[in-house]
Structure 1
Amino acid sequence: MRSVFFLSLRQLAATVSVIAIGGFALAEPQHGIAMYGDPQLPPDFVSLPYANPDAPKGGRIVTGEVGSFDSLNPHIRKGSTPWQLRFLGSESLMGRSYDEPFTLYGLLAESVETGPNREWAEFTLREEARFSDGSPVTVEDVMWSYETLGTVGHPRYHGVWGKIAGMEQTGPRSIRFTFTEEDRELALLVGMRPILKKAQWEDADFAESGLDVIPISSAPYVIDDFEAGRFVSLRRNPDYWGRDLPFMRGQANLDEIRMEFFGDGTAMFEAFKAGILNSNREFNAEKWETQYQFPAIDSGDVVKSVLPHERPSGITGFVMNTRRDVFKDWRVRDAMLHAFNFEYINETMTGSAQPRITSYYSNSILGMRPGPAEGRVREFLEPFAADLLPGTLEGYELPKGDGSARNRANIAKAMDLMEQAGWTVQDGTMKNAAGQRFTFEIVLSSGSAEEQSIIDLYVEALKRMGIEPTVTAIDSAQYKEREAKFDFDMTYYRRGLSLSPGNEQRLYWGCDAAATEGSGNYMGMCSPAAEAMIDRLLTSESRDDFLAAVRALDRVLTAGRYVIPIYQWNISRIAHAKELKFPEKLPIYGDWIGWQPDVWWYEE
């Protein structure tokens, strides 16, 4: 394994503290912007600290995905798109550094300026910024992109658009956004929206674009070739306008980024073993130890890299849809958690090698602390005490089994909880007083072998309670459609979370998102306490208040019993061709969005 440099939690906390001490307002145009204080890198920085400015250009990376796609526009609600295109297929005014909790540096924009309280933010475009067709990126393109994405684009863009009171051109290359409310993060969020070419869409329906239109962007990669549902190939643009920017030095090193699509994970893994793919992330610890023993590994042509990180675990597991009557009662959800025999499932699936997710922000400084809520966390939550579920203030832990297949104690507890909620076993079947059977549908994407295996074990446990759910496995396109419409009782759920939670939290847990199709609020929760904690983390003016708000939110989410968590990935496991290299220094986010295609290089 390669030696890597990695910040400790203590170092990260110290870094955030130092940032928090700095002033908040930017008095003049700056090269970057941070959530608190000033960016760590000076205006004359050479490259991002986790990029190799001397990395050679060339080579290719080929990765696999399970599923299919029917659109090349990742910015609309309709259709299924290769998820990587959202990050590789466009650029924004500012670019993010994944070695700082939330800091942006100039990309399409050469500078950013904000009002004293960040009530507005003004960006000045670089004169040299160009789209891949050679045309300049203009203020008109920026304004069109924001309005289009904010109105007919994917719902992820609507929240920020709703908080923009106005945008105006303030110079030949400058644009100012004025905000409707106090929210420190908005100045950063407007800097991260994709900028698209207005002229391309003048005679086309942006919201309905599928495979017939390849979006033009200013990004270093352009879509070079594709076959519907089979593969997408992106080629590095040799005329990319920003190749000499400090932010881009050591990035976009590979000549080709290719994504191959497969019907299931088994076929994808066999393609990797056969050399069709040259990089593969492995999420199963037992498989990593037992099945990565093939000729290319033995010869050294493929190497195994283990990469740590300090970002939140996020939440991965099976979400219960509270829009459905079957899961409205928290006691029923609690029963489902007790019936889920994690210790036995973890031993079966990973040889007990993976630690369990204990809360949404576990594995990070933002995670809730064990035991009763104290200090500022309790102070923030107490106004909502009457509506908080048991355990939020007192302390909550996930049910723990004894590791045996029968899980007797937890099954007994689950039965008791169901009885409290009005359900008992009658003639071998769980029913209510009216004789209605308790059942629900678990919707999965076909080809997801690991999820299916976990659910098979779970269903066997539920049968012992007189509950026999329906398990429906459908193709990725159908699954995407049902998922977007919240057309499920229970489904697989994975929500990555960052060290800098902000407005996106409303899309995940907010009341408005619960009623918005396509949002991340799969569970349909609407919690005044969660809404208030999101407000606090967005308006906190000190690190202590910010941490307390996130830890309080973590308590509300975890004690809400909305998701049955499985294991977390507190390290990344990537098997890759020996020619694919990465820098010795890892960002604090580790193997995060874009890190591999952004800073890896190919070297014979």
Structure 2
Amino acid sequence: MITSSITLCGLLLATALTLPASAQDLSTIEWQTNYDDPPIGDPAALKGGIFHTFMAAYPLTLRLVGPNSNDGFSSWKRAVTMDFGLVARHPTTDNYVPWMATHWSVQDDKRTLYFKLDPDALWSDGKPVTAADYVHTLHMMQSEAIVDPFYNNYAEEHYEDVVAIEPYVLKIVGKFESWRPLDMFGLWATPAHAVTLEEGFPERYNTTVLPVQGPYVLSEKEAGQYVVFTRLEDWWGKDKHYWRGMYNPDRIHIRVIDDSDRALDFFKKGKLSLYRVNTAKKWAEEMEFEATENGWAHRKRLFVDYPSGVYGFAMNLERTIFQNKDFRKAIQYLFNFDEINEKLMYNAYYRAVSAFTGTEYQNPELKPYGFDPRKARQHLRKAGYAKRGEDGILVDTEGNRAAFTFSYGSKGLERHMTVVKQVFKRFGVDMDLRLLEPGTAFRNGMEREYEMTLMGRTAGRFPGPHQYYGSVFKETKNNNNVWAYGTAYTDSLIDVYRFNMDKNKRLQAMHELDAILQDEAFYVPFWQAPFMRFLYWDYVSFPSFYFPKRIQQMTDWQVFWIDEDKRRALADAMADGRALGRNAVIDVDPYEVKDRLEAAMKAAGDG
């Protein structure tokens, strides 16, 4: 997070006015740390090699804040360069572990935090990472110059003060007591010596490569084609306990490939190291080719335990047609998930229902709308669409057609959306499909320049209803409230979740919010699956568990490595046409997720 330049005089004044402000005062703090959990990766992992991967669109920006800073590329930039928090949750044990801070202390008020920063931490330009860099993060979040209403609002609502007590001691005071203060009030560092906050911030830093505290620097880029991250051999954190076995490739080459089918072709040609298989059709029909048959490449389905994100149809409540709740409900009843799952996805998925799927905050009483043409017709009539026009599409009394445009950025979903379009048209609703370049689709969603779009966001370990449904974000754009929804009452429920220390009250509020969101019907949840499916060449190696339990994207926890000896052996085998032997184990379930899921489904069926 962010810190504006602070003069020596100002720092001394802040130190003098803030307690505890002396060694004696700090000695009363009860510090915590945790070096008892296992390393996140495999300490035996090898360093070196090039990892080739892809992204759907060239970065809209290299910034972490401001317009378009949450595009697909941002997950890479956050993971390997800049977004290193003070503490982290261990992705297998869920315990707090040291990250940029070696120690921490939560005070009795549950909003005042102290951190001892790692004195070894350096920016990639050699300057030390100090408490002043975290103060700068707050100043950046507060600044209107960044043109980011989400962070402006977050800073206003969450932070009372951030103080550099000493160069390597940081104090953070939240605005309220919290049931998870280390999660709620954490910050990342911003290089105060390299980032200024004057007007023109978005343009000034749009393509600027800044000093980073992470293990990689962005070393090469060609607009529209690729970016390359290069590992810092002398990175200050390389021998830290929890980073041993992580961040292993020397270089990460990310090629722009805007179509997943083309990306699979690139993988088959050896131009990608790993390919994540995101469609059931590919997984069922396209995994047998020369490389997999000869054991030169392998496939895995790894079961993981992490909440699902937001994924489905998003309706823009600023557009007239979707301001009618009955029309929205008709769309819900016309979405035939079972047909799509059976005919196009080999029954590989199950229907998502909740806005908070995979968490204890999901309302267990919710049932999906289900495909029900009779109810759809009833709601269409209530919405004023009682007769068909000459083209077969329903019209209201003023001649307005039951028609809208659906914008999306994934060609891999074209078949699915064509089926949806055909079903809708059969019942008098015209959905015009508009396939956009992924970056354009994302940007249009953030700016609410759409009627209905495909909404896809990853989730945190805990739901974030405020950013998606808080009414404060209705009046602004470039935030995750893409549907422009929010009421005073739903805000009050969100506030119970955010601020109330009673877990039962939080659960009750979130379950009620979940039911309201489903009834408002502006979000059509799609499908979910608690696994990652991927192909990889034989030279890509993993720990025995492949990835930690809490993972959504490959970028989350980079524990894979490149084995150069195996790369050479693979090249020789391929040149000779010699098989290496297939890996017969496809499903990997080190955390017993599949077993628990199937047991729960069986229990529900028996009930």
Instruction: Please indicate the TM-score interval, normalised by the length of the shorter structure.
Output: 0.7 to 0.9
Q: Give yes or no for the alignment of 1:484 onto 2:446.
A: yes
Q: Give the drift of 1:561.
A: 1.6
Amino acid at match of 1:89: T
Matching residue's letter, 1:227: E
Partner AA of 2:114 in structure 1:
E
Query: 1:297 Cα shift?
Result: 0.9
Q: Separation in 2 of the partners of 1:96 and 1:201?
A: 25
* Mapped pair 1:336 → 2:331: yes
Q: Distance in 2 between matches of 1:294 and 1:72?
A: 37
Alpha carbons of 1:211 and 1:272: their partners in 2 closer, same or farther (altered >3 Å)? farther
Equivalent residue for 1:563?
A: 523
Distance 1:591 1:323 in 2: 31
Measure, in 2, the Cα distance between the counterparts of 1:46 and 1:341: 45
Letter of the structure 2 residue corresponding to residue 519 of structure 1: N
Q: Which has the higher mean CA deviation after the structures are superposed, 578-587 or 142-151?
A: 578-587
Are 1:160 and 1:189, in contact at CA under 8 Å, matched by a contact in 2?
no
Select which of 222, 234, 239 maps to 1:239: 234
* Match in the other structure for 1:388: none
1:52 corresponds in structure 2 to: 42
Matching of residue 196 in structure 1 with residue 187 in structure 2: no
* Contact residue 393 and residue 429 of structure 2 kept, 8 A: yes
Instruction: Output the amino acid matched with 1:221.
Output: Y
Q: Does the C-alpha gap of structure 1 residues 120 and 95 become closer, same or farther in structure 2, counting only changes over 3 Å?
A: closer
Deviations 1:326-353 (A, max 9, x none): 1122221110011122222222321222
Measured after TM superposition, the shift of residue 117 of structure 1 is 1.7
1:490: how far off?
Answer: 0.2
User: In the alignment, which residue of structure 1 is the partner of 2:476?
Assistant: 516
State the partner residue of 1:442: 406
Match of 1:453 in 2: 415
Give yes or no for the alignment of 1:67 onto 2:33.
Answer: no
The answer for the alignment partner of 1:3 in structure 2 is none
> Partner residue of 1:541?
501
List gaps (5 residues or longer) in structure 1: 1-26, 33-42, 371-395, 402-409
1:166 aligns with 2:161: yes
CA separation in 2, counterparts of 1:548 and 1:149? 32
| Structure 1 residue aligned with 2:549 | 588
Residues 203-352 of structure 1: pairs in structure 2 closer than 5 A: 205-209=200-204, 212-352=207-347
**TM-score under structure 1 length normalisation:** 0.81
Q: Is the 8 A contact 1:61 1:256 kept in 2?
A: yes
Query: Structure 1 counterpart of 2:81, which letter?
Result: G
Post-superposition offset of 1:299 = 1.4
1:203 to partner: Cα distance: 9.3
Correspondent of 1:499 among 461, 467, 476: 461
> Structure 1 residues 101 and 462 mapped into 2: Cα distance closer, same or farther (>3 Å)?
farther
Q: Which has the larger displacement, 539-548 or 256-265?
A: 539-548
Tell me which residue corresponds to 2:103. 111
1:212–1:333 Cα change, 3 Å: closer
Counterparts of residues 396-475 of structure 1 (less than 5 Å): 396-401=366-371, 410-427=372-389, 428-445=392-409, 448-475=410-437
Q: Distance in 2 between matches of 1:484 and 1:582?
A: 36
For 1:368-383, list aligned pairs within 5 A: 368-370=363-365
Over aligned residue pairs, what C-alpha RMSD do you find? 2.6
1:108-154, Cα deviation, whole Å (9 max, x unpaired) = 22222232122322222222110011111122222112211342444
- The number of residues matched between the two structures is 529
Q: CA deviation at 1:312?
A: 2.3
Cα deviation for residue 477 of structure 1 reads 4.1
Q: Specify whether residues 530 and 309 from structure 1 end up closer, same or farther in structure 2 by C-alpha distance, changes over 3 A only.
A: farther
- Answer yes or no: is the 8 Å Cα contact 2:335–2:370 preserved in 1: no
Q: Which runs of 5 or more structure 2 residues have no equivalent in the other structure? A: 1-27, 567-607
1:141 aligns with 2:133: yes
CA contact (8 A) 2:90 2:97 kept: no
**Post-superposition offset of 1:161:** 1.0
Shift, 1:186, TM fit: 4.6
Q: Residues of 2 paired with 1:171 and 1:472: CA distance? A: 55
% same residue: 21
Q: 1:285, 1:353 within 8 Å by CA — same for their partners in 2? A: yes
1:99 aligns with 2:60: no
How much does 1:593 deviate?
A: 6.1
